[in-house]
Amino acid sequence: MSESLRPGDIFNEEDSNTSNNPAFESVLEARMSRRGLLKAGAGAAGAAALASTVTQAQAAHAPKSPINGLKFKAVEKHTVDQVVVPEGYTARVIYALGDPLSGNVASFNNDGTDGNFEMRAGDHHDGIDWFGLDAKGNPSWTFNSRGLLAMNHEATTDEKLSSHFLHADGGTRSLPRPASEIDKELMIHGISVVEVQSDGKAWAYKQDSSFNRRVTTMSEAEMHGPARGSEHLVTRFDADGIRVRGTLNNCGTGKTPWGTLVSGEENWFGYFFRDAKDDERRGLKDPSVAALKRYGRKAGEASRHGWESGGMQDRFVRWNNSLLGVTARDDYRNEMNTFGYVVELDPYNPTQALRKRSALGRMGHENATFAVATAGQPIVAYMGDDARGEYIYKFVSDAKWDPKDANAKDRLAAGDKYLNKGTLYVAKFNADGTGEWLELSLRNPVLAKFEGFPFKTEADVAVFTRIAADAVGATKMDRPEWGGVNPKNGEVYITLTNNSNRSASNVDAANPRAYVDMKGTKEQKGNVNGHIVRMAEAKPADVNFKWDIFLFASEAGADKSTVNLSNLTEDNDLSSPDGLVFSKATGLCWIQTDDGAFTDKTNCMLMAAVPGQVGDGKAHTIAYGDKTVTTYAGKEQTAATMKRFLVGPKGAEITGICETPDGRALFINIQHPGENTKAADVSNPAKYESVWPSNAGYGAGRRPRSATVVITKNDGGVIGS
Ligand code: FEO
Ligand code: CA
Ligand code: CA
């Protein structure tokens, strides 16, 4: 799918999973189990029977304002440079790259001359969550007109090393890069917390709120969970392997039942440099060499921005992951091991350092989504590892949920309680519509006896999770992105955005499509448009599940027996689902796209869907030559169950979504508008791919900016009604 690759996509195209886990095995299994199933008379009907049990077991959290059928008029696909929402709705920009987060910081010039990014909105707004405040400024689960938005700033729009819109002349696109440019770029990554409020007419962010905060690549953080103090985390910065610096490539978010933000570190590996001789110095058989390859960094690979080239100061040297000194205390050979975690932050406490929760594993984390917390039951979180052929994970806490912790005074201490000790699992999807969660710990004999990598401690499993998942035989998926839990019945949805490596030779029941789609005259191959898998467990902590495919993303005109299995139309066709969040207010499933395959016809979008349940559709068998694969599709979509709600500006991804508790304000992020603009054209707005949001009347300058948009209904109603 290289034709449709955009600059930022290259990192997700990483496929370092050379394990033998994949699909060929599953195809054989598919044939055998289908025979077994036919004999037993089970199949999709069996899945449906189990699903109804599940629904009964977990139907405890009905939405306050349920929407069971979509009535708004679908937004048409478009390629204009604007955000468009349905008639009767308004979308307004409230917080964009560079906006000041303190009364002392100047407004944003947006011409490459601005500084002070440690107290400005970062770049590439991504996952976002709402943290309510009452009128007195105390944390509130119910207040609707004042709150904090905590959001990720995943990356920056770049071309050949430089984040060109951040520098007046487009910056330096060769090595070494000047320290002054790198210092800006170090500060535009991370997380921001910003206070927003509505006066009943319009929403705005509050520039001088004492809650406003930036976390950057330089902010101190602490490692928690099994990896705390591990030999693999020893660096020149901390010989004890506990203190670490910064968070990076924060992609999806989640809100914990105790009111904190969790944020997934995704494409961090691309930011590190390793010199060509590093493997030899480590020793070719040293486990660290295998681990670095499995996490996407071969010796001799250049870093995305060349931050290691800024000088001898520690803040530059740390991005060189090569073995350079005598021991790990002398260099940053282990610095990459300090990234790749779910990090937890308390948005209500601007001075508390964030905590890296290593019990949830190390990978290209997207988001972490929590099962409905039930008193006396473990806390459960579901996660995707976004690269081609990576896996779906879940974490089950040792501690049992105490509802009093929803209002804990020390929220990160509650995080310690639930997220530092527990069991990590990885998903295996069977061809008969069932699945298993495989334990990733030394209690699992497969891992304890594994000869391919020395897993000696639980810390080793926490730091080298991908290798552990390979060892136990997890199912390689089509780039797992966001997960969401349907509050009504507890079912888990995970987007699988696309996979150019999926082919007839490795399709399986849960990743069953490999086809050709045209983008203009260009052929795109694999699972071009992505799908959404859905799992039902009798209880969130169970190790067995049933699954089906909630949605096959597709163009409306694609073949209905092999590609458009969800029967999508012009009003709801989409490509590359990525963000996925359930509304607690309405029960709607919001789906966002980060696409490069359908962009000849439409910019990226936000869809609203009415979820059904596992087993509500039927089995489909797809033939690949003399081989067949049977999958289980959810119910076909209709105008009542799925509609396009928003289409964004040019060159942008739609990502991150949260709402006020009453469901009357929806906040979404627009990431990297105009990202295909050439660095050489930064001084010529006429050549920009996008000039949003300046063309929507927001802010100074014409350079495109990632931004938060608030959507309200003109009659004050619930969003989606
Ligand atoms: Fe940051 Fe996988 O999207
Ligand atoms: Ca196409
Ligand atoms: Ca994403």
CA of 648 relative to ligand 3 center, distance in Å: 16
Are the beta carbons of 452 and 548 closer than 8 angstroms? no
Write the pLDDT tens digit of every residue in 272-281.
999 999 999 9
Q: By alpha-carbon position, which residue is closest to atom 3 of ligand 1?
A: 251
Ligand 1: centre distance to CA 383 (Å): 12
State pTM to two decimals.
Answer: 0.94
Q: Distance from the CA of 592 to the center of ligand 1, in angstroms?
A: 12
Q: Which ligand is nearest to the CA of 575?
A: 2
Q: Using an 8 Å Cβ cutoff, are 292 and 286 in contact?
A: no
Q: What is the chain's mean pLDDT, rounded?
A: 94
From the CA of 266, give the closest atom in ligand 1: 1
Point out the ligand 1 atom lying closest to the alpha carbon of residue 594.
3
pLDDT value of residue 9: 57
Q: Is 575 in the pocket of ligand 1 (CB under 6 A)?
A: no
User: For residue 487, is the peptide bond before it cis, meaning its omega torsion is within 30 degrees of 0?
Assistant: no
Average pLDDT over residues 243-264: 98
Is the CB–ligand 1 distance for residue 390 below 6 Å?
no
Residue 47 scores a pLDDT above 70: no
Q: Which whole number is the average pLDDT over 263-272?
A: 98
| Ligand 1 atom nearest residue 364's Cα | 2
Helix (H, G, I), strand (E, B) or coil at 368: strand
Cα dihedral 297→298→304→305 (10° resolution): 100
- C-beta of 595 in contact with ligand 1 (< 6 A): no
Q: What SS3 state is found at 282?
A: helix
pLDDT at 26: 43
Paired with 383 in beta bridges are 368, 393
Edge-to-edge, what's the strand order for the sheet holding 605-609?
A: 577-582, 589-593, 605-609, 642-647
CA 386 – ligand 1 centroid, Å:
6
> Is the pLDDT confidence value at 19 over 90?
no
* Torsional sign, CA 314, 320, 324, 329: positive
Nearest ligand (C-alpha, residue 555): 2
Cβ(251) – ligand 1 distance below 6 Å: yes
State residue 21's pLDDT score: 73
pLDDT at 130: 98
pLDDT computed for residue 16 by the predictor: 83
Query: Is pLDDT at 40 greater than 90 in this prediction?
Result: no
Q: Reply yes or no on whether the pLDDT at 23 is more than 90.
A: no
Considering only 32-46, 249-263, 275-289, 416-430, which range has the smallest mean pLDDT? 32-46
Q: What is the end-to-end Cα distance of the chain in Å, rounded?
A: 37
Q: Each residue of 627-661: pLDDT tens digit?
A: 999 999 999 999 999 999 999 999 999 999 999 99
Q: Is the pLDDT of residue 59 over 90?
A: no
Closest CA to 272 of 290, 236, 296, 246: 296
Cβ < 5 A residues, ion ligand 3: 481, 578
Tokens, residue 604 = 């990226």
Name the least confident of 24-33, 377-386, 634-643: 24-33
For residue 267, give the ligand 1 atom closest to its CA: 1
Q: Which pLDDT score, from 0 to 100, does residue 191 have? A: 98
Q: Which ligand is nearest to the CA of 386?
A: 1
Length of the chain: 721
Ligand 1 in contact with 481 (CB < 6 A)? Answer: yes
Distance 590 CA to ligand 2 centre (A): 23
Beta-bridge mates of residue 481:
none
Contact by Cβ (8 Å): 337, 463: yes
Phi-psi region of 500 (alpha: psi -120 to 50; beta: other; left: phi over 0): alpha
* Ligand number, closest to the Cα atom of 8: 1
How far is 373 from 600, CA to CA, in rounded Å?
43
Better-predicted residue by pLDDT, 74 or 45: 74
Instruction: Supply the pLDDT for residue 15.
Output: 80
Q: What is the predicted pLDDT for the residue at 25?
A: 37
Which ligand lies nearest to the CA atom of residue 558 in the structure?
Answer: 2
Confidence bin at 10 (pLDDT 50/70/90): low
Is there an atom of ligand 1 within 6 Å of 154 CB? yes
Reported as a pLDDT band with limits 50, 70 and 90, residue 558 is: very high
To 5 degrees, how large is the angle CA 232–CA 233–CA 237? 140
pLDDT of residue 18: 81
Q: How far does the centroid of ligand 3 lie from the alpha carbon of residue 409, in Å? A: 32
Q: Token pair for residue 86? A: 């349905």
Number of H helices, E strands in the chain: 10, 33
Determine whether the shortest distance from the Cβ of 266 to ligand 1 is under 6 A. Answer: yes
- Cα(560) to ligand 2 centroid in Å equals 15
Ligand 3 center from residue 299 Cα (angstroms)? 27
Using the structure block, give the residue that is written with the tokens 């073949």. 559
The answer to whether the peptide bond before residue 22 is cis (omega within 30 degrees of 0) is: no
Checking if the pLDDT of 390 tops 70, the result is: yes
> How many Cβ atoms from other residues are within 10 Å of residue 585's Cβ?
23
Cα 599 to ligand 2 centre (Å): 8
